[in-house]
């Protein structure tokens, strides 16, 4: 039996330190009481579990998994599960905190949570991935539930993983529990529109931001970093809206074509080969070069901390849409703001996923499902309202969009905490 150790993280800075520093800055700007900040700066619960898995070769590997709940003042906690080699407890804590703010900004009745397992899902067979998921679910089964904590997909996980969690939990309860996870396949209680929801919410934010600047999306160029669930669909939606997507990337390669990438061909190539490498009519560039391309919109849609103080001054995009969580570090934030770059922050720009996860949870509890047009219309209403509130706050207070979004969210969670009181 062997234990799988966590590799050296790709993160340049501790993400939980960043999240707490952001909270303190917001508290100063919006005059939030220090006692409340002390409460909100800590996670309610952090669980670390050992996940032994029988591998296909007959060996047993022991993986490490986490499930963190940050806050439940506004409702049960909600948050994805990440399978990645670089998962750390502090990363999961920061993601749980950001999820709290995201749910509050969108006005949905959830708190924030997050989970993760230190593994490389790309090196696991499908059967190993299933055994890993079912054992991890069994280890955290007392932490999750439809009225307690509802997981969802994140980096390295998808609908199949959610199906295994749903089945494992339901088998232990003795009946099907549709609301225990979201992001499920449609055949077992998933919601229409959920797969594309995060990217669609990002598109709505870009659309509204461009309109505020009296621009036209169909006259703009874009670069999308990351071609997973969020990046691929965002590239597709931008292309369909008439924007010219000149660069895309995945974990293996970055590609550029000044005349525009054929996004439909990229989807087909990725589906067939599992990588964008080799896509016709596109030249390979480095991941660093993609970040500093001369485009109107840059959408980092992969992992955290891809734009730092080391490359921020070279960024030429006028709008950055954070499809990923925490892709811009605070030091980079300051540099970009000084350059006049409009940053659409993660808690606003990628909140479409949790909004439609909320819709899926509601549909599962009611066992009554909506048409896709209804899902997308409701998503548009919620994201556009949150964008407008954030924009107005930023303009009134003359602060960046990130500070405005966090300020709205933190005040809502603080108000809920005051209203409920601290027991006993």
User: What positions carry a catalytic annotation?
Assistant: 114
H runs (alpha helix) in 229-351: 229-240, 263-273, 287-291, 330-338, 346-349
Positions of E strands within 24-94: 45-54, 60-71, 77-84
- Helix-helix angle 352-366:197-212, to 10 degrees: 130
Q: How many CB atoms lie within 10 A of CB 145?
A: 15
H runs (alpha helix) in 159-313: 159-173, 197-212, 229-240, 263-273, 287-291
Query: Look-up: residue for tokens 């070279």?
Result: 314
- Alpha-carbon distance values, 292 to 223, 257, 306, 326 (Å): 9, 14, 11, 18
CA nearest to 345, candidates 303, 404, 402: 402
Burial class (CB in 10 A: 0-12, 13-18, 19+), 362: middle
Q: What does DSSP say about strands 45-54 and 60-71: parallel, antiparallel, or unpaired?
A: antiparallel
Q: How many CB atoms lie within 10 A of CB 178?
A: 20
Residues in CB range of 171: below 8 A, 6 or more apart = none
Q: Please tell me the number of Cα atoms within 13 Å of 138 on its side-chain side.
A: 13
Expressed in percent and rounded to 5, the helix, strand and coil fractions of the chain are 50, 20, 35
Q: What does DSSP say about strands 244-249 and 254-256: parallel, antiparallel, or unpaired?
A: antiparallel
Q: How far apart are CA 287 and CA 100, in angstroms?
A: 30
What is the token pair recorded at 196? Answer: 């594309």
Q: How far apart are CA 359 and CA 356, in angstroms?
A: 5
- For residue 415, cis peptide bond before it (omega within 30 degrees of 0): no
Q: What does DSSP say about strands 77-84 and 283-285: parallel, antiparallel, or unpaired?
A: unpaired
């Amino acid at each position: 039996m062997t234990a799988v150790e966590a590799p050296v993280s790709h993160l340049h800075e501790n993400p939980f330190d960043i999240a707490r520093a952001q909270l303190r800055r917001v508290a100063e700007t919006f005059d939030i009481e220090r006692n409340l900040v002390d409460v909100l700066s800590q996670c309610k619960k952090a669980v670390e579990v050992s996940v032994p898995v029988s591998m296909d070769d007959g060996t047993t590997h022991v993986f490490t998994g986490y499930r963190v709940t940050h806050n439940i003042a506004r409702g049960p906690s909600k948050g994805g599960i990440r399978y990645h080699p670089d998962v750390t407890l502090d990363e999961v804590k920061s993601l749980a905190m950001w999820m709290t703010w995201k749910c509050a900004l969108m006005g949905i009745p959830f708190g924030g949570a997050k989970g993760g397992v230190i593994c490389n899902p790309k090196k696991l067979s499908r059967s190993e991935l299933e055994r890993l998921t079912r054992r991890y679910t069994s280890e955290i089964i007392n932490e999750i539930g439809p009225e307690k904590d509802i997981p969802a997909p994140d980096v390295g996980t998808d609908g199949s993983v959610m199906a295994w969690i749903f089945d494992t939990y339901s088998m232990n309860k003795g009946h099907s529990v549709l609301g225990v996870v979201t992001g499920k396949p449609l055949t077992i209680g998933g919601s229409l529109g959920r797969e594309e929801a995060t990217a669609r919410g990002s598109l709505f934010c870009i659309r509204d931001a461009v309109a505020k600047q009296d621009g036209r999306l169909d006259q703009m160029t874009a670069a999308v970093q990351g071609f997973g669930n969020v990046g691929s669909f965002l590239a597709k939606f931008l292309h369909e809206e008439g924007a010219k997507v000149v660069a895309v990337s995945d974990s293996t390669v970055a590609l550029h074509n000044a005349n525009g990438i054929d996004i439909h061909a990229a989807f087909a190539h990725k589906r067939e080969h599992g990588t964008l490498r080799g896509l016709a009519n596109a030249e390979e560039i480095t991941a660093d070069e993609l970040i500093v391309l001369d485009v109107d919109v840059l959408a980092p849609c992969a992992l955290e901390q891809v734009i730092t103080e080391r490359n921020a001054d070279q960024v030429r995009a006028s709008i950055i849409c954070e499809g990923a969580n925490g892709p811009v570090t605070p030091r980079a934030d300051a540099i970009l703001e000084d350059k006049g770059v409009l940053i659409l922050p993660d808690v606003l720009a990628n909140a479409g996923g949790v909004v439609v996860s909320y819709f899926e949870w509601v549909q599962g509890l009611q066992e009554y499902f909506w048409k896709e047009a209804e899902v997308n219309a409701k998503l548009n209403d919620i994201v556009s309202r949150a964008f407008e509130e954030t924009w107005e706050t930023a303009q009134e207070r003359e602060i960046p969009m990130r500070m405005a979004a966090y300020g709205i969210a933190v005040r809502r969670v603080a108000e809920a905490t005051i209203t409920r009181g601290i027991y006993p």
